[in-house]
Amino acid sequence: MGSPEPRPYRYPGRPRPERPAGPAVSVAAAAALSQTAARYLEATYYISHEGEAVRPSRLAEWLGVSAPTVTGVMQRLHEQGLVEFNRDRSLLLTPAGEAASAGVVRQHRVVERWLTDALGLDWTTADQEAGQMSHAFSELVLERIFQSLGRPLTCPHGNEIPGAGLPERELENLYELPAGIPALISRISEVAEHEAPQLLQLLDQEGLHLGTRVEVRHAAGADAVTVLVGGRQTALGFRAARAVWVQREDRPSPGARPGTPRSRRA
């Protein structure tokens, strides 16, 4: 677990988010965090790994707290060596903070896979339940669950499990996919899912699952695109389309280990 982790995806046509060097994931460090610190670091991880700048106002919106509350918690995390403040007041995880936050995310996503794969919960319920219980699992139990599931590479909606060894994927969001280019759905944005819990239900209703082949037909207006899926056309709003990340069929896939989802329904 001490070796650097490969980056899971690239953003075509834009710079990759900068991530600090250092240990990729530390479940032990995550277990030592208070639940408040774990929540803040987890949110920071999700936002930064989507390529966004992490600002106190953004975290306040995400966590449903005031900006001064965020500033106070982040100041304590800074004193613990887990975050740094940039000159523009955005936040950056230190190597220790990256390792601890990745540990929190690993706990959550492994438990999510267990809840969906072994217990049959739907995506939305599994995400909510994992948020309630994942911190209660010891590193030993978490590793046994991970092994029993076949060492999955991703959570149920295609986001990387830190430390699982997911090869780099060159993904682009569905909204920016050129018309006429076939692609496979590879992941659903964690940020978009958090901000729009009904998103997974919408994608399920439209038949847009992991591994589904899609093709953009044409723009249906300023706020929607027309997508061909399963031989039929459907219109998706731009916010939903931006939440869906795809890999073009003409680009090599990193492959999948047993337990990696392909077309699991929400």
Note whether 76 and 40 are same-domain residues.
yes
Tell me the pLDDT of the chain averaged across its residues: 81
What pTM was computed for the model? 0.79
Choice among 33-37, 76-80, 83-87, 203-207 with the minimum mean pLDDT: 203-207
The structural domain count of the chain equals 2
Choice among 40-44, 82-86, 240-244 with the minimum mean pLDDT: 240-244
Asked if residue 265 belongs to a domain, the reply is no
Note whether 20 and 139 are same-domain residues.
yes
Secondary structure class of 53 (helix, strand, coil): coil
Note whether 140 and 180 are same-domain residues.
no
Note whether 9 and 38 are same-domain residues.
yes
Domain with 177, as residue range(s), is 171-248
Q: Tell me the pLDDT tens digit for each residue of 176-199.
A: 899 999 999 999 988 777 777 778
Asked if residue 262 belongs to a domain, the reply is no
Structure tokens at 127: 């995400």
- What is the average pLDDT across 14-19? 38
Residue 257 has pLDDT above 60, yes or no: no
- Give the residue, 224 or 160, on which the prediction is more confident: 160
Note whether 129 and 24 are same-domain residues.
yes
Choice among 111-115, 128-132, 252-256 with the minimum mean pLDDT: 252-256
Note whether 9 and 108 are same-domain residues.
yes
How many Cα atoms are found within 13 Å in the side-chain-facing hemisphere of 47?
23
Q: Are residues 123 and 116 in contact, defined by beta-carbon separation less than 8 angstroms?
A: yes
